[in-house]
Amino acid sequence: MMRVEIDPHSGFCGGVIRAIGTAEQHLGKGGRLYSLGAIVHNEEELSRLEARGLVTIDTEDLREMRDGVDGEPLLIRAHGEPPQVYARARELGFRVIDCTCPVVLALQREIREAHRRMAPVEGQIVLFGKIGHPEVLGLVGQAEGDVTVVENVDQLRDRIADGTLRTYRDIELFSQTTMSPSGYMQIQQYLGARMAGAELTVHASICRQVASRHRELSEFARAHDVVVFVSGRDSSNGKVLCELCRGANIRTWHIGSAAQLRPEWFGPDDRVGVCGATSTPKWLLEEVAGAIKNLH
């Protein structure tokens, strides 16, 4: 008989819970609530909130707006934004509701302070993160764009080879909060081995909740015959965690909703584990688990 278990550690992280809870409070009063960017990288949850009155806009919309909005609420999601976005929103007359994750806020502050330290000594800031990711854009903006972003060791090697990174100058190294701890360690080791008489300062900037989830999720994937990983297609964290599961269990399937399940993935006696990203709601995990039980 097939058994289905939901990973108890999967589901929204604290920052996303706070942002969605704040949105629901405002939407419960009626009227519109603007969100700068998708409040969560999960299509199912986003559709639920939009049906209640959430309107998603992007930074390009802010740039192109010419008329004021007279106090309309604008939610800054957990990823955060660079300072100039706040300034533009207030210039237009939005009432800003800042839901930047406290962990991201602390990292923004650390990068601003690092920039002040590095500028007088011609040092540099390196950020391990996804190029173009909203959190990364917000972090880079704290240092007026003076940050070198790398996604992997290959990119780091290229930045050293082309002179973008000068390893004979002091470097402060940070990570986007949701990146892989093992990937960050590889970056640290590669860069540390190539410092030429200068100082490398490594900051522990991966969210502790995310770091512990990597360990727990590997154990969860190994404990099941089949893993169904649920996340939105735009979730950076989802892509990282799904590959982590696949590394521990080759029978890992990545879906966005129960409609994408296939009966041929499962055997009658399989132990099936259902898990997801920090942007995957519990209700969706439960819906997928229920649908799997009804396949046979």
What pLDDT score was predicted for residue 247?
95
Residue 35 and residue 261: Cα distance in Å, rounded? Answer: 31
CATH code, domain carrying 183: 3.40.1010.20
**Mean per-residue pLDDT over the chain, rounded:** 94
Question: Distance (Å, rounded) from C-alpha 229 to C-alpha 275?
Answer: 5
In a domain, 207, yes or no: no
Task: Map 260-275 to HEC letters.
Answer: HCCHHHCCCCCEEEEE
Give per-residue pLDDT as tens, 137-166: 999 999 999 999 999 999 999 999 999 999
* Residue 122 lies inside a defined structural domain of this protein: yes
User: Which sequence positions are flagged as catalytic?
Assistant: 135
Q: What is the pLDDT of residue 296?
A: 67
Which pLDDT value is given to residue 89?
93
pLDDT digits (tens, 9 = 90+) for 203-215: 999 998 888 888 8
The answer to whether the pTM exceeds 0.95 is no
Q: Are 201 and 227 in contact (CB under 8 A)?
A: no
Residue 30 in 3-state DSSP?
Answer: coil
**Pair (180, 225) in one structural domain:** no
The CATH number of the domain holding residue 54 is 3.40.50.11270
Domain that holds residue 78: 14-99
Strands 3-6 and 54-57: unpaired
Same domain, 110 and 189: yes
pLDDT digits (tens, 9 = 90+) for 41-62: 899 999 999 999 999 999 898 8
Average pLDDT over residues 238-249: 93
For residues 222 and 105, give the distance between their C-alpha atoms in angstroms, rounded to a whole number: 35
Of 199, 40, 20, 206, the closest CA to residue 107 belongs to 206
